[in-house]
């Protein structure tokens, strides 16, 4: 039996339809981004009671992305899935975190518990599975961090050669270790990050090498599973707010898309509000929001501890703008110190997060202070990567007086009396 496809690929600006098998992700008419669209009526008809399907898979199924296969890439045959059991990450409630944020309940959805320690794995399992499905012979991305680690891991798992373009001598060892370990062809180019981006676009233009950068719309479909899984873990009860850090703005776009589809499919009965948080060193989306999105803004991103969101001109600006507007959302901004203090507070509650996640947590606290999030409300904060992936930030904070929560190791002579003295 052959069935007609449920998903199509459409330009977000002019609506032109594109082949779902294409490896070119700029609209051929106007150059804007493409998005995967699912025919939700067909989805319901073909798969019936999705809630029941998802509930049944909940305990037995390893991947927290493919548990929701019908909502992610319904036309992808199960046999084409490339998975590392991504997702199924913890949703943590801690009285100390509620107290820090100042609202009734502030849960942390810890995406650092993914195979390469960031949420990028959710996008890459979808992107690489699709790449394999459309018979891509090579995949490529330009990245200084989590994207290249995730792409390299899934490319290796799929046995598809991966190419990573990095700016020479501008990437930390922590960020290099994963892609080289996973066997990707890592090319350190004598340019900056923007130079790498330009070149990876040219390299993939002919469609011979499959692009897995932020423009790839299939990654968004995998990332949608963060919100779906969080709501599922809450017994399909939506929180009042989701709070998420914003860099290229793909993740907030994915979050909104998934929640919107859950609602349209009848799995949730209302929509939450969304808060996107930026870091002061790179806040173009915040500036546009403050200006009622009258125009797209770009800034020169400054150095920040939140290096994964040091982005001056977000690729997914338009998708994210629509999501913020459609979810009665807000955009906030915090500085590095607030992000580090929030991270330290969360870490000390036993949930070790990265500085980018600290931005979201600090933003949530600020929104409660400002009265935007009510003290009686429940929120879910998306932590995007694990603290262990950004350990320099923790070492710096705790080695000297990095903030009110610093926990500096003490150097002592190797004597029991000295230890007793230190323990008091
Ligand atoms: C990629 C990334 C982000 C930003 O996500 P966008 O989709 O670019 O907004 C935030 N935190 C971490 C750890 C990331 O790797
Ligand atoms: Zn177009």
- Mean pLDDT check: name the lowest of 22-31, 123-132, 249-258, 317-326: 22-31
Which protein residue's CA is at the shortest distance from atom 14 of ligand 1? 308
Query: For 246-287, how does the pLDDT look when each residue is reduced to its tens digit (9 = 90+)?
Result: 999 999 999 999 999 999 999 999 999 999 999 999 999 999
- Find out whether 141 and 147 touch, Cβ atoms under 8 Å: yes
Whether the per-residue pLDDT at 1 is higher than 60: the answer is: no
CA distances from 336 to 81, 219, 253, 278, 347 (A): 39, 28, 24, 10, 16
Adjacent-strand bridge partners of 332 = 277
Between CA 35 and CA 37 the distance in angstroms is: 6
- Are residues 10 and 3 in contact, defined by beta-carbon separation less than 8 angstroms? no
CA angle 324, 130, 145 (to 5 degrees): 60
Residues 84-97: tens digit of each pLDDT:
999 999 999 999 99
**pLDDT band, very low/low/confident/very high, at 59 (cuts 50, 70, 90):** confident
Average pLDDT, rounded, for the chain: 95
C-alpha of residue 163 to centroid of ligand 1, in Å = 20
- What the block records as the tokens of 320 is 């994210």
The closest alpha carbon to 37, from 82, 5, 83, belongs to 5
pLDDT at residue 145, as a whole number: 87
Q: Which ligand is nearest to the CA of 141?
A: 1
Is the pLDDT at 207 greater than 90? The verdict is no
User: Tokens 């037995």 — which residue?
Assistant: 60
Tell me the residue length of the chain: 424
What is the predicted pLDDT for the residue at 61?
80
Pocket of ligand 1 (CB under 6 A): 118, 120, 146, 245-251, 308-309, 354, 356, 384-385
| Residue pLDDT, tens place only, 115-169 | 999 999 999 999 999 999 999 999 999 987 899 999 999 999 999 999 999 888 8
In angstroms, how far is CA 39 from the centroid of its own chain?
25
Concatenated DSSP letters for 85-101? ------EE--HHHHHHH
At 400, the pLDDT band (50, 70, 90 cuts) reads confident
pLDDT of the residue at 170: 77
How far are the Cα atoms of 32, 79, 272, 300, 409 from residue 362, in angstroms, in the given order? 33, 42, 20, 23, 25
- 6 band by pLDDT with thresholds 50, 70 and 90: very high
Of the pLDDT bands very low, low, confident and very high (cuts 50, 70, 90), residue 291 is very high
Q: Which of 148, 382, 384, 386 to mutate to test the pocket of ligand 1 (most atoms within 8 A of CB)?
A: 384
pLDDT average, residue stretch 49-57: 93
Q: Does domain 91-117+219-399 have CATH number 3.40.50.1100?
A: yes
Q: State in Å: Cα 147 to ligand 2 middle.
A: 26
Ligand closest to CA 9: 2
Q: How many CB atoms lie within 10 A of CB 28?
A: 13
Q: Are 184 and 163 in contact (CB under 8 A)?
A: yes
pTM: 0.96
Nearest Cα neighbor of 262 from 290, 283, 234 is: 234
Which whole number is the average pLDDT over 44-53? 94
pLDDT given for residue 350 in this prediction: 98
Give the model confidence (pLDDT) of 191-206 as tens digits.
887 788 889 989 988 8
């Amino acid at each position: 039996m052959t069935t007609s496809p449920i998903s199509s690929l459409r330009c977000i600006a002019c609506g032109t339809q594109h082949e779902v098998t294409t490896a070119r992700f700029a609209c051929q008419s106007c150059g804007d981004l493409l998005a995967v669209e699912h025919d939700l009526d067909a989805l319901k008809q073909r798969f019936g009671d999705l809630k029941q399907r998802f509930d049944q898979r909940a305990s037995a199924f390893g991947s927290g992305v493919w548990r929701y296969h019908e909502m992610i890439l319904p036309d992808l045959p199960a046999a084409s899935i490339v998975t590392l059991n991504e997702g199924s990450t913890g949703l943590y409630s801690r009285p100390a975190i509620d107290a820090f944020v100042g609202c009734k309940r502030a849960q942390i959805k810890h995406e650092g518990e993914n195979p390469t320690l960031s949420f990028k794995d959710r996008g890459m399992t979808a992107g690489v599975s699709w790449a394999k499905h459309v018979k891509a012979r090579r995949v490529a991305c330009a990245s200084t961090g989590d994207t290249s680690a995730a792409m390299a891991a899934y490319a290796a798992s799929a046995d598809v050669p991966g190419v990573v373009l990095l700016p020479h001598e501008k990437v930390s060892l922590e960020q290099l270790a994963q892609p080289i370990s996973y066997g990707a062809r890592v090319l350190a180019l004598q340019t900056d990050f923007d130079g790498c981006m330009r070149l990876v676009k040219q390299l993939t233009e002919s469609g011979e090498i499959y692009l897995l950068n932020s423009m790839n719309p299939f990654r968004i479909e995998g990332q949608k599973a963060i919100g779906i899984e969080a709501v599922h873990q809450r017994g399909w009860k939506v929180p009042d707010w989701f709070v998420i850090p914003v860099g290229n703005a793909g993740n907030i776009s994915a979050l909104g898309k998934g929640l919107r589809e859950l609602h349209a499919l009848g799995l949730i009965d209302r929509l939450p509000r969304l808060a996107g948080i930026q870091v002061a060193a790179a806040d173009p989306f915040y500036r546009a929001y403050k200006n009622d999105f009258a125009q797209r803004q770009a800034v020169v991103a400054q150095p920040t501890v939140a290096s994964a969101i040091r982005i001056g001109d977000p690729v997914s600006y338009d998708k994210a703008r629509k999501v913020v507007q459609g979810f009665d959302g807000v955009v906030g901004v915090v500085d590095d110190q607030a992000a580090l203090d929030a991270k330290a507070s969360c870490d000390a509650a036993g949930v070790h997060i990265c500085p980018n996640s600290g931005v979201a947590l600090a933003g949530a606290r600020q929104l409660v202070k400002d009265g935007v999030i009510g003290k009686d409300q429940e929120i879910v904060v998306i932590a995007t990567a694990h603290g262990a992936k950004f350990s320099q930030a923790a070492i710096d904070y705790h080695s000297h007086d990095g903030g009110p929560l610093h926990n500096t190791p003490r150097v002592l002579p190797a004597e029991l009396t000295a230890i007793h003295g230190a323990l008091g």
